[in-house]
Amino acid sequence: MDRKIVIKGARQHNLKNINLEIPKNKFVVITGLSGSGKSSLAFDTIFAEGQRRYLESLSSYAKQFMEQMDKPDVDSVEGLSPAISIEQKSVSKNPRSTVGTITEIYDYLRVLFARTGIPHCYKCGKKIELKTIDQMVGSVYSHKAGEKLIVLSPVVIDRRGEFKAKFEDYLKHGFYRIYVDGKEYNLDESISINKKKKHNIDLVIDRIIIKEENKRRLADSIELALKLSQGILKLKYEDKEEILTENSICLECGVSYGKAEPAAFSFNGPQGACPQCGGLGYKEYFDEDLIIPDKSLSLREDAVGIFKHSTPVYKNQIISALSEHYGFNPNTPYGSLNDDVKYAVMHGSGDEKIKFYDAMRDNKSFHLRYWEGIIPMLERNIKGGNYLLDSKKYKIEKTCPDCMGFRLRKESLSYKIGGLSIADITNLSIKDVLDFFTDLDLTDYETGVATKILTEIKNRLQFLVNVGLGYLALSRQAQTLSGGESQRIRLASQIGSGLTGVLYVMDEPSIGLHMRDNERLLKTIVNLRDKGNSLIVVEHDEYTMLKSDYIVDMGPGAGKNGGYVVAQGTPAEIMRNSDSLTGNYLTGKLKIDIPKRRRYSLSGFLEIKGARMNNLKNIDVRIPLNNFVCVSGVSGSGKSTLVIDSIFKAMFAYKNSYINDFSKFKIGDIKNANYFDRVINIDQSPIGRTPRSNPATYTGIFTLIREIFAATKEGRIRGYDPGRFSFNVKGGRCEACSGDGVKRIEMLFMPDVFVVCDVCKGKRYNAPTLEIAYKNKNIHDVLNMTVKEALEFFEGIPSLFHRLKFLTDVGLDYISLGQLATTLSGGEAQRIKLSKELSKPGCFKTLYILDEPTTGLHFDDIKKLLNILNLLVEAGNTVIVIEHNIDVIKSADYIIDMGPEGGDEGGYIIAQGTPEEVASSESSFTGKYLANVVKPIRKT
């Protein structure tokens, strides 16, 4: 059996024809600078080849249903096992997907509730106990022997009528006695009852004495009683009555339940889904604040945004008609109109007809008609499929009033285990669900039915807790999960599968994890290895590298300067290798220094009062202005809720005049909100979604370059304008490939093939355009330059040099100007955005927010990132980062540490102050790790 994965001649992307041996059944980390070739090796070569070989083994029929993979540019890969990729990407964008469904825990819960759930009446709340005939007999024999018993069948319950025909029929079938409204009668006598009143009638099936020899007779009598009354039994003892049923029906309210099946607990099917919201848990409503964001405007001033899409004649006709009918000035600010007028504008005129004058004729003739209203108009627009007007942007989601957000029918929500419904359980945190099922008391019967199901549920829950996701609720929508959370969910699912002999390729599993949670994750990864699997992990985390069996360090630089294996071996061997940049950081020869001084805010604080969104506990937060602020805390403690969902969204809405108060964002108030001119969230989303986007177009560099080429002597002679040098429009681009440089050839059972355009030879432009040169380089040559090369080439043009210099400062001198946006990593995209911000003149009094900016960054890249963030602060801006990286946390001016745990146990501020002050906090997990790198000091 192969003990190594042997790679020969790997040339994918920037890999330099490398040869490499990686030990199998080991925990292997591939590290290196951003852009050094880590993902090209791990995912685009090793995993891609393993996956391609699997797909090649399938039949032609099966292949047409699966996405085909290109063969990586490599001579050979030997010793491959079946490969599974666990990357940082969202699990699902479907609003119906939840943590419970994607982990399959919810499927087991549905079976558990169908088999052991006890229904409770949703009207009166009483427990509905279903019993079998044997259980009913057992209930009778729990009474003392010799007691007399009457077995009754409730044949009529709360119904009007005389029932003479029924009485005669019972008599014919051998029954002699009956109870009508509690009074006993003989069936052979005349029974007169008021047909206009409701009655309860119980047929006497048997009179019996409780003793052992009568047990079989009692069972037969109960069976007959249940048959005649459709599943209901009444037992009349000497001192009491007892009603039992074999059906799901409330004997008090008459509410009937169908037989519980797993489908009845699914919100993705008609049997279980709430009929009002279709199982989504929410309904969409048009919101007046979105339709009219600025209420200081009048109707004439386009307060109603959708009127901008209407002709002036149509708009003025409506406004004139409404203002005349309701008696208001159309130039009055919308917010000053009375409530009746606002309601009519939004919802229509109801039964009142309004005069609409004909502006196309004499403006005197009119016709009477009802005014539809803005909101009904938007609803009609959606139903009619008119996509010219995006009506959905005026909608908000509100909890479904029927199911209260629980997604299921009320009948399904009435089934309970341990006093909780299936929705109650899924709304708990994963850790609390695990505790609930661990402590759950079951009857012997329930234990027999549920043991295997509960084992599966508890195992999956434990795996999720082990990878640091115990704070998530099973009802959490999958589309709201971060890339790191999604990755760890898939990791937990793989552990639960129990596979062995598999090659797992992972992309930074430590993302989004606090140092404490990362220790737990590594135990899980080691456990996966110990089961006989091979793990290749792309990672920059120091602790992860030190715990690995083997490290492959890529470099020495990035982009064209990377693609080599600089060092490989055990962590100890890497640290002894002086050529390894990673090794030098691991040994401490290179390090990110602690700032010599901490800034202190002289401008005051941004004060958030009463933040209570999600798990935030009505907290007050003070953020020093013109400082570098880091928000830290264990996973799920409320960092993103505070910074992104509360502060950023509220401040963004405030600066763009969408709101006048912050209650929509679950904030009481924000002090000094007017201090900032801009609020920007610099995330790691792509700078463009198509291959036509690149760093040059995003930063505005391409515009300047096109102007330079248009201004050349030959360009002016030919009359070329800057548009001539764009590959996005006709004129200068190659029309054979529409400026793409490649042509796509579809292959039925093979991956689509992209071949270099035979007309422009991949240069994207037509021949006349490529004849225009600046310093002996045409537009294609310039786009192929790296940032470093372009910096030297355009040194004499200050406006262009200035922007290129900032790309170099953020550590991106290795990328090419025309590199496809789709090939850039999240970290690279984020740093391009940072460089664009730095290049803006007079950019200060801006609130910058970054969520885990160190994702995908090596130690050396983090050092450059910190320099950039400090430049932004020195320019008069405030920077807030959410971060777990200890080098970033120790470098901040001010720390806000959230906790103490995740989920419901989080949402508090545990410690705040300088890193030295937080390091002294005994209740802060972050402080515990900070104390190893900074000197703790007590606040005075």
The string over 302-322, giving b where at least 16 C-beta atoms fall within 10 Å of a residue's C-beta and e elsewhere, is: ebbbbbeeeeeeebbbbbbbb
What amino acid occupies position 693?
Answer: S
Same domain as 699, residue 679: no
User: Structural domain tally of the chain?
Assistant: 5
Q: Which domain CATH number covers 349?
A: 1.10.8.280
Output the six-digit token pair for 61.
């029929």
Q: What is the pTM of this model?
A: 0.77
Q: What is the CA radius of gyration of the chain?
A: 36
Q: Please give the Cα distance from 222 to 244 (Å, whole number).
A: 10
Q: What is the mean pLDDT of the chain?
A: 89
Q: Examine residue 438 and state whether it is found in any structural domain, yes or no.
A: no
Terminal Cα-to-Cα distance of the chain (whole angstroms): 65
Tell me the DSSP string of 841-907: TT--SEEEEEESTTTT--HHHHHHHHHHHHHHHHTT-EEEEE---HHHHHH-SEEEEEESSSGGG--
Distance of CA 182 to the CA centre of its chain: 60
Three-state DSSP class for 422?
helix
3-state secondary structure 357-403: ECCCCCCCCEEEEECCCHHHHHHHHHHCCCCCCCHHHHEEEEECCCC
Question: Which H or E run contains 9?
Answer: strand 4-10
Question: Are residues 617 and 517 located together in one domain of the fold?
Answer: no
Identify whether the C-beta of residue 467 lies closer than 8 Å to the C-beta of residue 456: no
Residue 195 is part of a domain; what is its CATH number?
3.30.190.20
Query: How far apart, in whole angstroms, are the C-alpha atoms of residue 864 and residue 869?
Result: 9
Contacts (Cβ under 8 Å, ≥6 apart) of 166 = 155, 156, 201
At 284 the pLDDT is 87
pLDDT for the residue 466: 86
Range of the domain at 343: 284-399
pLDDT tens string 715-734: 999 999 999 999 988 999 99
DSSP for residue 554: E
Q: Are residues 225 and 149 in the same domain?
A: yes
> What b/e readout covers 335-363, taking b as 16+ CB neighbours within 10 angstroms?
eebeeebbebbbbbbeeeebebbeeeeee
Nearest alpha-carbon partner for 332 in 322, 656, 372, 655: 322
> In the prediction, which pLDDT does 682 show?
92
Last residue of a domain, one of 246, 276, 308: 246
Residue 13 lies in a domain: yes
Roughly what angle, to the nearest 10 degrees, separates helices 339-347 and 374-383?
20
Q: What is the CATH number of the domain that holds 766?
A: 1.20.1580.10
Domain end among 399, 431, 453: 399
- The Cα-based distances of 242 to 100, 151, 714 in angstroms read 41, 10, 103
**Max Cα distance, the chain (Å):** 121
CB neighbourhood size of 439 (10 A): 8
Asked if residue 30 belongs to a domain, the reply is: yes
Ranked by mean pLDDT, the top range of 440-449, 455-464, 651-660 is 455-464
* Mean pLDDT, residues 644-648 taken together: 94
- Axis crossing angle, helix 444-466 with helix 483-497, rounded to the nearest 10: 130
Residue by residue, DSSP assigns 566-617 as: EEEE-HHHHHH-TT-HHHHHHHTSS--PPPSS----SS-EEEEEEE-STT--
More confident residue, 229 or 642: 642
Give Cα separations from 75 to 49, 51, 53, 754 (angstroms): 11, 16, 14, 20
Determine the pLDDT at residue 309. 64
777 falls within a domain: yes
Helix (H) or strand (E) holding 20: strand 18-23
CA dihedral 638, 639, 642, 643 (to 10 degrees): -160
Per-residue pLDDT band for 409 (boundaries 50, 70, 90) equals very high
If asked whether residues 742 and 782 sit together in one domain, one would say yes
Contact 791, 804 (CB under 8 A): yes
C-alpha torsion sign, points 784, 788, 791, 794 = negative
What pLDDT digit, counting tens, does each position of 113-134 carry? 999 998 888 888 888 877 889 8
Count of beta carbons in the 10 Å neighbourhood of residue 552: 26
User: Which residues, 6 or more positions from 807, have their beta carbon under 8 angstroms from its beta carbon?
Assistant: 695, 699, 787, 813, 815, 832, 835
Q: pLDDT exceeding 70 applies to what percent of the chain?
A: 95
Neighbours of 183 (CB within 10 A): 9
Residue 312 has pLDDT above 80, yes or no: no
Q: CA of 285: how far to CAs of 389, 526, 666, 721, in Å?
A: 17, 49, 19, 48
Whole-angstrom distance, CA of residue 170 vs CA of residue 205:
11
Q: What b/e sequence results for 111-133 when a residue is b if at least 16 CB atoms lie within 10 Å of its CB, and e otherwise?
A: bbbbebbbbbbbeeeeebebeeb
What confidence tier does 48 reach under pLDDT thresholds 50, 70, 90?
A: very high
Residue 482 in tokens: 């971060």
The pLDDT tens digits of the residues spanning 168-198 come to: 999 999 999 999 999 999 998 888 888 889 9
Instruction: Flag whether pLDDT at 386 surpasses 70.
Output: no
Residue 267: inside a domain, yes or no? Answer: no
What is the distance between the alpha carbons of residues 34 and 106, in angstroms, rounded to a whole number? 39
- Does the pLDDT value for residue 693 go beyond 60? yes
Which residues are 756's β-sheet partners?
742
Mean pLDDT of 749-769: 83
Is there a single domain that holds both residue 614 and residue 640?
yes
Pairing of strands 894-899, 628-633: parallel
Q: How many CB atoms lie within 10 A of CB 867?
A: 12
Three-state secondary structure call for residue 675? helix
How far does Cα 248 stand from its chain's mean position? Answer: 38
Task: Tell me: cis bond preceding 556? Omega within 30 of 0 counts.
Answer: yes
Same domain, 788 and 903: no
From CA 233, how far away is CA 245, in angstroms rounded? 6
pLDDT at position 636 is: 85
Does 656 share its domain with 710? no
The answer to whether position 548 is within a domain reads yes
Find tokens 């077995």 and name the residue. Answer: 151
Peptide bond into 691 cis (omega under 30): no
DSSP-derived secondary structure for 105-141: HHHHHHHHHHHH-EEB-TTT--B--B--HHHHHHHHT
Instruction: Identify which of 275, 249, 265, 263 has the alpha carbon closest to the alpha carbon of residue 121.
Output: 249
Q: Is 474 inside any structural domain?
A: no
Residue 629, helix vs strand vs coil = strand
Q: Are residues 548 and 636 in the same domain?
A: no
CATH number, domain of 664, equals: 3.40.50.300
| Chain length of the chain | 940
Domain boundary among 349, 368, 399: 399
Contact 426, 100 (CB under 8 A): yes
* Phi and psi torsions of 654, nearest 5°: -65, -45
Confidence of residue 494 (pLDDT cuts 50, 70, 90): confident
Q: Are residues 369 and 308 in the same domain?
A: yes
Please check whether residue 636 is in contact with residue 903, taking contact to mean a CB–CB distance below 8 angstroms: yes
CA angle (929, 889, 472) in 5-degree steps = 75
Over residues 514-528, the pLDDT tens digits come to 888 888 889 889 989
Residue 419 lies in a domain: no
Whether residues 570 and 624 fall in one domain = no
Q: Kindly report which listed range (317-331, 603-617, 650-664) carries the lowest average pLDDT score.
A: 650-664
Q: Is pLDDT at 496 greater than 80 in this prediction?
A: no
Burial pattern 575-586, b for ≥16 Cβ within 10 A else e, equals bebeebbbbbbb
Is the Cβ–Cβ distance between 904 and 429 less than 8 Å?
A: yes
In terms of domains, do 314 and 375 share one? yes
> What is the per-residue pLDDT across 767-777, written as a single tens digit (0 to 9) for each?
999 999 999 99
Question: pLDDT tier at 388 (50, 70, 90 boundaries)?
Answer: very low
699 & 677 share domain = no
Closest CA to 431 of 530, 526, 520: 520
Instruction: Give the confidence band of 365 by pLDDT, cuts at 50, 70, 90.
Output: confident
Spatial CA neighbour of 684 closest among 819, 557, 805, 824: 824
Lowest mean pLDDT among 95-109, 370-384, 603-617: 370-384
